[in-house]
């Protein structure tokens, strides 16, 4: 068999397998997606889904549970282009080197209040809970409350949760779990975080 014929046969076989898998996936339901792991790409993937959903005119709610050193491009974009009520950023100074535990807990609870409002509002088709896993890891939010609220969301609403770790209960709840593996990151070679790529 020449190269072209071989390629054609292989593609035909692949198509048969893919078509069979597509036909077998006949459940139509909303999803919980957990993006975890130590590599770069979790938050940016979540915002890829924001763009995707908005392309279909879906209503999206975004909640970020950690305030970075500087405003992120996604926050700047959302402030300009999304109605303010759809984007909630924890703000109030939560950073990695915070010293005030009680203030962090209060900020986490305030932010969760906003998230649970979205998770009970059927007007949202997609809710992003960016960096939520840290709030669970630190014990700032109740895992059972978070899981119960996400599980009890409006039936058509999908949820994307990002952050390292996340725990077994969250993984059990999620329909799709991706672990982004850190193979190499420029920061470890001394390269500064890059505007538009890293933030």
Contact set with Mg ion (CB under 5 A):
42-43
Residue from 6, 19, 182, 195 binding ligand ATP (CB under 6 A): 182
With CB under 6 A as the contact rule, which of the stretches 24-32, 42-50, 115-123, 136-144 interacts with ligand ATP?
Answer: 42-50
Please name the helix (run of DSSP H) or strand (run of DSSP E) that holds residue 44, with its range, or none. Answer: helix 42-55
Our CB check for Mg ion shows the closer of 56 and 96 to be: 96
| Helices vs strands, H then E, count in the chain | 7, 6
Residue 138 is a binding residue for ligand ATP (CB under 6 A): no
Residue from 15, 98, 187, 191 binding ligand ATP (CB under 6 A): 187
Token pair recorded at residue 28: 């139509």
Residue from 32, 34, 36, 43 binding ligand ATP (CB under 6 A): 43
Residue 149 is a binding residue for ligand ATP (CB under 6 A): no
Q: Which of 46, 82, 78 is nearest to 158 (CA)?
A: 46
The CA distances from residue 30 to 68, 100, 156, in Å, are: 30, 38, 5
Cα–Cα distance measured from residue 65 to residue 67, given in angstroms and rounded to the nearest whole number: 7
Residue from 16, 38, 95, 109 binding ligand ATP (CB under 6 A): 38
Complete edge-to-edge strand list for the sheet that includes strand 126-130 = 87-89, 60-64, 126-130, 158-162, 32-36, 176-179
Strand, coil or helix: what is 124? Answer: coil
Minimal distance, residue 25 CB to Mg ion, in Å: 29
Minimal distance, residue 183 CB to ligand ATP, in Å: 9
How long a stretch of residues is the chain? 199
Residue from 42, 59, 67, 153 binding ligand ATP (CB under 6 A): 42
With CB under 6 A as the contact rule, which of the stretches 32-40, 89-97, 108-116, 169-177 interacts with ligand ATP?
Answer: 32-40
By the criterion CB under 6 A, which residues form the site for ligand ATP? Answer: 38-44, 131, 162, 180, 182, 185, 187-188, 193, 198-199
């Amino acid at each position: 068999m020449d190269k072209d014929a071989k390629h054609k046969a292989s593609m035909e076989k692949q198509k048969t397998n893919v078509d069979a898998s597509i036909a077998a996936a006949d459940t139509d339901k909303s999803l919980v997606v957990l993006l975890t792991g130590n590599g770069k790409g979790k938050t940016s993937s979540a915002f890829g889904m924001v763009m995707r959903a908005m392309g279909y005119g879906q209503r999206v709610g975004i909640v970020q549970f950690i305030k970075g050193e500087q405003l992120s491009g996604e926050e700047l974009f959302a402030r300009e282009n999304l109605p303010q009520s759809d984007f909630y950023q924890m703000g109030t100074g939560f950073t990695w080197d915070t010293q005030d535990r009680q203030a962090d807990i209060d900020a986490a609870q305030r932010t969760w209040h906003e998230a649970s409002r979205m998770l009970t509002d059927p007007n949202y088709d997609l809710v992003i809970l960016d960096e939520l896993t840290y709030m669970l890891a630190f014990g700032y939010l109740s895992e059972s409350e978070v899981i119960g609220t996400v599980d009890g969301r409006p039936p058509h609403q999908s949820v994307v949760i990002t952050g390292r770790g996340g725990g077994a209960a969250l993984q059990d709840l999620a329909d799709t779990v991706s672990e982004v593996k850190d193979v190499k990151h420029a920061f470890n070679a001394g390269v500064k975080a890059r505007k538009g790529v890293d933030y």
